[in-house]
Amino acid sequence: MGELHAETRLLDDPEEAGGLLAEGRLVAFPTETVYGLGGAIHFAGTIERIFKAKGRPADNPLIVHLAQASVLERVVLEIPRMASELMEAFWPGPLTLVFRKQAWISPGVTAGLDSVAVRSPANPVARQILQACGCPVAAPSANRSGRPSATTWQSVFEDLNGRIDAIFQGEVCQVGLESTVVDCTGAQPELLRLGAITLEQLCFVRPDTIRLQSKPSNVNSPGLRYKHYQPQARVLLIEDVRQLEGTKSRALLSLTPHEFGHQFGLYRHLPDLGKYAAEVYEFFRQADRLGMETIFCESVPRTGLGEAIMDRLSRAAEND
């Protein structure tokens, strides 16, 4: 299997997608958060191809996806009580937990760490595909590294056509932001990546949950080090969009409606945090398709999902 593929197949049968994964093929599929680029974890060559297809730095580990929690014992050394409680509350769903890994999990998957990140997605199609595959599947977000995650199969196609074996033509992802990542290898749950499950929700189940204390360069969460979620257009976070002037080369994404929105080349008003989260990446991609130079994003309140949205927006706006 070479690096580039003349043709990426489009699929609509979950059984077929699962079968291809079981053979070691690279198949992108929908989850409730974003599309994932799947590869069965016991094929070293498959894991290597995931990194190549995405252009992903080799030291950024992958999340292992399971059809159900009952197979977790196959990949982790132990299941601490904090993890059982969080799984009970949020699995299947958009929560990734980090465990001590079993020896057979290859360093390609975990980027050499002795821990492994695992989640069991809630999306019914994802579950059917994982079930049909019958083995654990590593799946980073199905985008070229650094770009906004893909929440539609068309966006996966835009980034990865010719680089992977197949794309499942599923629905638009409902959540739109990646899973929350929580490290369960220490004395208490540690939030590594903000996401679909909020800190408040985690603390409701485990009041001792703490936020990542260290700087992004910390090895605990290697993925935080890199450029992420960035469209080609420059992203600017704006507190008060009423001061803005629109032109055909500028895009505006706002939480409140604005009568001057039509002055922009692309304008979207997303009335609540759920919709904002669900559509922000697709808005970025649409702005790029239209050749926008600047994307203005109205800041959102840092409550509930707002915290994860602001995390993604500020990373998209980072310019070094």
Binding site for ligand TXA (CB under 6 A): 31, 33-34, 36, 60-63, 94, 96, 98, 110, 113, 115-117, 139-141, 178-179, 181, 192-193, 220-223
Least spacing, CB of residue 223 vs Mg ion, in Å: 7
When the beta carbons of 98 and 166 are compared against ligand TXA, the nearer one is 98
Least Å distance between CB 138 and ligand TXA? 9
Least distance in angstroms from the C-beta of 81 to ligand TXA: 19
Q: Which is nearer to ligand TXA, 98 or 202 (CB)?
A: 98
Which of Mg ion, ligand TXA, none has residue 222 at its interface (CB below 5 to 8 Å by kind)?
ligand TXA
Distance between CA atoms of residues 101 and 267, nearest Å:
46
| DSSP element (H, E) containing 47 | helix 44-54
Shortest distance (Å) from residue 247 CB to ligand TXA: 33
Return the residue nearest ligand TXA (CB atom). Answer: 223
**Residue written as token pair 């060559």:** 45
Which CB atom, from 120 or from 141, has the smaller least distance to Mg ion? 141
- Of residues 60 and 131, the one with the C-beta less far from ligand TXA: 60
The CA distance from 51 to 58, in Å, is: 7
Among all residues, whose Cβ is closest to Mg ion? 141
Whichever of 141 and 179 has its CB closer to Mg ion, that residue is 141
User: What is the β-pairing status of strands 180-183 and 190-193?
Assistant: antiparallel
3-state secondary structure of 80: coil
Name which of 192 and 295 has its Cβ closer to ligand TXA. Answer: 192
Contact residues for 190 (Cβ-Cβ < 8 A; gap 6+)? 182, 183, 209, 210, 211, 212, 220
Q: Is 24 left (phi over 0), alpha (psi -120 to 50) or beta?
A: left
Secondary structure letter of residue 215 according to DSSP: -
Per-residue burial over 275-306, b = 16 or more CB atoms within 10 Å of its CB, e = otherwise: ebbbbbbbbbbbbbeeebebbbbbbbeeebbb
Return the one option of ligand TXA, Mg ion, none that residue 192 interacts with (CB less than 5 to 8 A, by type): ligand TXA
Bridge partners of 96, per DSSP, are 181
Q: Distance between CA atoms of 317 and 299, rounded to whole angstroms?
A: 12
SS3 (DSSP) at 224: helix
Q: Could you report how far apart the first and last alpha carbons of the chain are, in Å?
A: 36
CB of residue 95 vs Mg ion: minimum separation in angstroms? 16
Q: How far is the CB of 173 from ligand TXA (least distance, A)?
A: 9
State the Cα–Cα distance between residues 136 and 285, nearest whole angstrom: 30
Site map for Mg ion, 88-127, x if CB under 5 A?
Answer: ----------------------------------------
Fill in the DSSP letter of residue 241: G
Among the listed residues 33, 110, 115, 141, the single contact to Mg ion using CB under 5 A: 141
Smallest distance, ligand TXA to C-beta of residue 7, A? 23
| Residue 29: closest CA among 93, 118, 125, 97 | 125
Q: Which is nearer to ligand TXA, 154 or 256 (CB)?
A: 154
What residues have CB less than 8 Å from 219, skipping those under 6 apart? 113
Task: Look at residue 82 and give the partner it binds from ligand TXA, Mg ion, none, a contact being a CB closer than 5 to 8 Å depending on partner kind.
Answer: none
For the CB of residue 225, give the shortest distance to Mg ion in the complex, in Å: 12
Nearer Cβ to ligand TXA (5/65): 65
